[in-house]
Amino acid sequence: MPGTRAVIFDLDGCLVDSEIFSLQALAAEMQAAGVQDVSVAELGRRFLGVSLSVVCGDVAERTGRPCPEGFADRFETRLIETFHQQRLRPYDAVPHLLDMLQERGIAMAIATGGSLRRMRATLEISGLDRWFRNRAFSADQVEHGKPAPDLFLFAAAQLGVDPERCVVMEDSPHGIKGALAAGMPAVGFTGGAHLEGIRQDHGEKLYGAGAVVVRDDLDGMVDTLLKAGCI
């Protein structure tokens, strides 16, 4: 491995502690669609890192009728309103992490399984657009989302960096698998509030998916990411 020239980040759960809000909004929308006995913990286990189309398929299966029209739009509207109300911000250590990578000449991008609408709202509300203007990419922009490699390869191409010189930071097994399929080593992160009580188990899932290392904090993450590109 010739060394890291770019770091590609997942967004939700890696740079912003937003997954807990997402799971809560998803649970509310599924209940409104007629799904009974749905919990945030269950949704975290089953749907972290997957597309809303998969969730809609589950809603249809559990209710015996098509997923309600506008389900995804209502979910995202509910979620974005929550982001505004909660004044969504990056994890405390994220600005320093991003500044340090910039100072070392490392290119950076976001590759999120979320929609363009959600991604743009998250970046604007959190202030992360300062670091990722024109360098944030959504599954909406590729044919196949995670765990396919398409999104990571697209991000690398937009950065003009060979895939083998990119490192990915992810919080979901689907994301880890997608990074590896793209030929990129992946670092797992388990610091999100949505993993409270299952942090160790989730970390094992990330290792099982192929993460080279898993961390539950961002202290020293710069060195971790750069070393991952030399393994």
Give helix 19-32 / helix 40-47 axis angle, nearest 10°: 110
Per-residue confidence (pLDDT) for residue 6, from 0 to 100: 96
**10 and 71 assigned to the same domain:** no
Could you give the CA distance from residue 189 to residue 219 in angstroms, rounded to a whole number? 12
Q: Domain with 29 in it: what CATH number? A: 1.10.150
Per-residue confidence (pLDDT) for residue 2, from 0 to 100: 57
Per-residue confidence (pLDDT) for residue 120, from 0 to 100: 98
**Higher pLDDT residue, 2 or 215?**
215
Residue 1 lies in a domain: no
| Range(s) of the domain holding residue 139 | 6-17+90-228
* Beta-bridge partners for 138: 112
Per-residue confidence (pLDDT) for residue 1, from 0 to 100: 45
Per-residue confidence (pLDDT) for residue 228, from 0 to 100: 84
**155 and 212 assigned to the same domain:** yes
180-206 residue pLDDT tens: 999 999 999 999 998 988 899 999 999
Per-residue confidence (pLDDT) for residue 230, from 0 to 100: 58
The mean pLDDT value for 114-131 works out to: 97
Mean confidence (pLDDT) of the chain: 93
**47 and 10 assigned to the same domain:** no
pTM: predicted TM-score of the whole model, two decimal places: 0.92
Q: Domain with 179 in it: what CATH number? A: 3.40.50.1000
| Structural tokens at position 28 | 């509310």
Number of domains making up the chain: 2
